[in-house]
Structure 1
Amino acid sequence: MATDDLMSKALTALDEVDGPMSVEVIHRLVDVSAAADPMTIREVADLLDMSPHTLRYYERIGLVEVGRDASGHRSYDAEAVRRLVFLTRMRLSGMAIRDLQHYVRLADEGDDTVPERLDLLLEHRDTIRRQLKELTLSLAATEYKIATYGGHTGPSSAGKA
């Protein structure tokens, strides 16, 4: 399942939510059964629509720990895949690598760091909310221009040329 598939699944799950986002929705986004057996770097790269180079980079800078099989090849377990899904969501939302490294270090230190992790995520949430407002304004300006040129605006016009 590539990142586009994960995003489609996420958006569908959001449409099914009546009320605020819940942890259960997030858990449904990662089909852990897909990673029940160890996965190769190629399988994980395909699943997350990432390059093997990026996966090796994330490992090298300490964002994810990856085991090795008997031949010495990388072997991604379900925990590593879940972490990578989280990392890709955070990167997509603009979280800096250094902030992710700090978050991962804190997570690896255990429950005593929960307050600091919470602060980091609350700050990032505020950033995302600001970005959403900015994007909403940009969408409104774009739709205004489309209407100015006689085009149709709204969700049903997406994908039509």
Structure 2
Amino acid sequence: MISIREVTELTGLSAPTLRYYESEGLIPYVKRDESGRRLYDHEALECIRYVTLLKTTGMPISQIRKYVCLYKEGNSTISVRKSMLTNHKEEIENKMKELYSNLDKINYKLALYDILESQMNNTTIKI
């Protein structure tokens, strides 16, 4: 069992963020000592890491909360959780395709600028 301070050092998350995640039901496995201080075990740390991963991928808090609630219900919800992750994966892939398309357009424009600059400087571009 480790303290909230140790969890902040391990995860890079602030104590207020951890308390917020707990209050939102995203970290359901936080225990307390006799003084009411939070104590985190391996299961809580794994939950924090996965919630952070989902948040980083752009999954909304409401969806993460739903996912965690389903997880707590047990194996009977595996297919629903799998479906949620499949849908989220597809959304990420679509965003990535859009970003790559936009990046291609930027790279094309940069190549045009290289050509224009070389013409202005009377230099040839070597390929």
Q: TM-score, normalised by structure 2?
A: 0.80
Offset of residue 149 of structure 1: 4.0
Q: CA RMSD in A?
A: 1.6
Q: Which residue of 2 aligns with 1:156?
A: none
Q: Which residue of 2 aligns with 1:62?
A: 25
Question: Across the two proteins, how many residue pairs are aligned to each other?
Answer: 113
Deviation per CA, 1:96-136, whole angstroms, max 9, x where unpaired?
A: 11111111111100111111111111111111111111121
Q: Which residue of 2 aligns with 1:24?
A: none
Identity %: 41
* Counterpart secondary structure, 1:94: coil
Offset of residue 40 of structure 1: 1.7
Offset of residue 42 of structure 1: 2.1
Cα pair distance change 1:140/1:46, threshold 3 Å: farther
What is the distance in 1 between the residues matched to 2:71 and 2:5? 26
Say which is worse superposed, 139-148 or 83-92, in terms of deviation: 139-148
Q: Which residue of 2 aligns with 1:42?
A: 5
* Counterpart secondary structure, 1:42: helix
Residue 76 (structure 2) pairs with residue 112 (structure 1): yes
* Counterpart secondary structure, 1:75: strand
Cα pair distance change 1:140/1:63, threshold 3 Å: same
Question: For 1:1-161, what aligned pairs fall within 5 Å after superposition?
Answer: 38-64=1-27, 65-150=29-114
What is the distance in 1 between the residues matched to 2:70 and 2:84? 10
Larger radius of gyration: 2
Deviation per CA, 1:37-59, whole angstroms, max 9, x where unpaired?
A: x2221222232222211110110
List alignment gaps of at least 5 residues for structure 1.
1-37, 151-161
Q: Which residue of 2 aligns with 1:26?
A: none
Look up the equivalent residue of 1:111 and give its one-letter code.
N
